[in-house]
Amino acid sequence: MIVAEIKPIEEIAEAIKGAKKVLVAGCGGCVTVCLSGGQKETDIMASALRMKMKVDGQPLEIETATYERQCDPEYVIRFKEHLQDVDAVVSMACGVGVQFMAENYPEIIFVPGQNTKFAGAAIEHGIWEERCMLCGECVLAKTGGVCPVIRCSKSLMNGPCGGSQNGVCEISKDTPCAWQLIYDRLKGQGRLDMMTEVLPAKNWSKNRDGGPRKIVREDVRL
């Protein structure tokens, strides 16, 4: 899932300075799961902004609305009824949601309420860790389900560097060596022969090739 982190209230307040009516728009997708942009966090943000702006001598009207996603036309259209006479929207979605909402309502100022961090997983309650760089060329079938692109600090594709010692990355004692993890995983599966296959150099054009990437599924298009 996409993991995000709420921006400082001061930064958001500065961005909506001068507005008279603001909508804080929540997202029921990834940011709800990572406890940063769902209905609860949206209500808290609205309350914090009300207090902040009142203390700053700039009281304003704030409403809230949360729908399943802000990156899908089906749900984006539902925000329309909440946008009457709104000067600005504080979107609690990821950066994708903020941009998509802004495209659909170009006459309204959209302000991100979060910093989008990475695609990750919940390691334990309240802790999320990056697991995917969205590189567009997945090699997990050959590395025991451990991604060398994001788990290795140097994104090495064919084994550890000389700085790896006792299964620990030289970057930090708290960072395990990705290739040690790959070795252990493949050994446990009885597939160590996979380590002898030389993976080609990473084709970074599949990560970024002159503009936004797009996938078209003709079988599901209307």
Domain boundaries, the chain: 2-118, 133-206
Identify the pLDDT of residue 221: 66
Identify the pLDDT of residue 48: 97
CB count within 10 Å of CB 36 equals 25
Phi then psi dihedrals of residue 131, to 5 deg = -130, -15
Q: 88 pLDDT exceeds 80?
A: yes
Identify the pLDDT of residue 222: 61
Round to whole Å and give the CA distance between 50 and 173.
Answer: 43
Whether 89 and 69 have beta carbons less than 8 Å apart is answered as: no
The CA angle 8-135-128, to the nearest 5 degrees, is: 40
Q: How far is CA 133 from CA 1, 67, 153, 157, in A?
A: 12, 27, 12, 14
Q: By percentage, how much of the chain surpasses pLDDT 70?
A: 97
2-118 belongs to CATH 3.40.50.10860? no
Residue 113: burial class (beta carbons within 10 Å; 0-12, 13-18, 19+): buried
How do residues 167-217 score in pLDDT, each as one tens digit? 999 999 999 999 999 999 999 999 999 999 999 988 888 777 667 767 787
Round to whole Å and give the CA distance between 143 and 138.
Answer: 10
Whole-model pTM?
A: 0.87
